[in-house]
Structure 1
Amino acid sequence: MVERTTTSQGVNGRVVVAERPADIRNVVLVGHSGSGKTTLVEALAVAAGAVLRAGRVEDGTSVSDYDDIEQRQHRSVQLSVVPMGWDHVKVNLLDTPGYADFVGELRAGLRAADAALFVLSAAAGVEGVSGATLALWEECARVGMPRAIV
């Protein structure tokens, strides 16, 4: 099998470089604020070896909430990209803000994505799904974007 990605060990974890654009996947995480998008990104980055240990939103140490405002407010305010490798594919996780004030960042993530993960709060359950989340699900369906619920 021909390797399509190269991996090297960086200071904070493994760094993956794709040899061809076909070996890159962009996956956007969407959901309401507080649903766990950034926490899921941290867990996936650790599992893939992209970071050595998980940060926490509450501590201001998450890899995707790197801006000073995000660290102080304990929430995402801009789109961030967390690259990682999985099964010889470079996966860029696109962590989006959940507040409606930052819908432009969400739209940018959707336009760049190959697939969408809808992150729902287990505590809120299905009843906690907003009309905006349902509208995004339907929007993804209209353009044929693969999507899943986490």
Structure 2
Amino acid sequence: MGDKAQTHHPGAAGRALAADHPASVRNVVLVGHSGSGKTTLVEALALTAGAVNRAGRVEDGGTVSDYDDIEHRQQRSVQLSLAPVEWDGIKVNLLDTPGYADFVGELRAGLRAADAALFVVSASDGVDGSTRMVWEECAAVGMPRAIVITHLESARADFEEMTRTCAEAFGG
């Protein structure tokens, strides 16, 4: 592989890439209100990237990012967690943040470490004020951002309406 030689080692999330070059690492923070689907999205991305051989479920306490007993009992994230995956030779550290305002320090830590942000918005719940505020903070420092709409299977979900809502809330 030339000067981009990389080694693999086992980690909490399964097979993880040990990047020998900082240019081969990206940190992506997941932002959104509690229950928007951040942890479930981390599971799906880890499965798709081959970092795990099955996706865990928050309800079962089997996710790679919610590993603490209190997170299992409460079925929600209470601390920042990292799930490393490899995609196309790049190590991507997925930073799963808690969605409750009580844990804003964990969110801030994830934002400081991130190269980009995925804003996770539930189609059934919409965009809340704190998510808008974090979007504006990321825009102010020029952080690349993308939106992922989740819970499209719910009865009230309307993708077109949610797309319009996100455009109004986040601009563009």
Q: What band does the TM-score fall into relative to the shorter chain?
A: over 0.9
* Offset of residue 13 of structure 1: 3.4
Superposed, which structure 2 residues align to 1:1-150 within 5 Å?
A: 2=2, 3-7=4-8, 13-124=14-125, 128-150=126-148
> What CA distance in whole angstroms lies between the structure 2 residues aligned with 1:31 and 1:45?
19
Aligned length: 147
Q: Gapped runs of 5+ residues in structure 2? A: 149-172
Q: 2:73 and 2:97 mapped to 1: Cα distance?
A: 17
User: Structure 1: which 5+ residue stretches go unaligned?
Assistant: none
How far is the alpha carbon of 1:131 from its aligned partner?
1.1
Identity of aligned residues (%): 74
CA contact (8 A) 2:5 2:20 kept: yes
Bigger radius of gyration among the two: 2
Matched residue of 1:81: which SS? strand
Contact 1:4–1:23 (CA under 8 A) maintained in structure 2: no
Q: Please tell me the root mean square deviation across aligned C-alpha atoms, in Å.
A: 1.6
Give, as a single letter, the amino acid of the residue that structure 2 aligns with 1:95. Answer: D
The alpha carbon displacement at 1:4 in A equals 4.1
- Residue 21 of structure 1 and its aligned partner are, at CA, apart by 1.0
Structure 1 stretches of 4+ moved >6 Å: 9-12
Q: C-alpha distance in 1, partners of 2:100/2:14?
A: 30
Whether the 8 Å contact between 1:84 and 1:90 is mirrored in structure 2 is yes
- Amino acid across the alignment from 1:5: Q
Structure with more relative contact order (C-alpha pairs < 8 Å, separation 6 or more): 1
Rounded to whole Å, the distance in 1 between the matches of 2:12 and 2:77 is 24
- What SS is found at the alignment partner of 2:94? strand
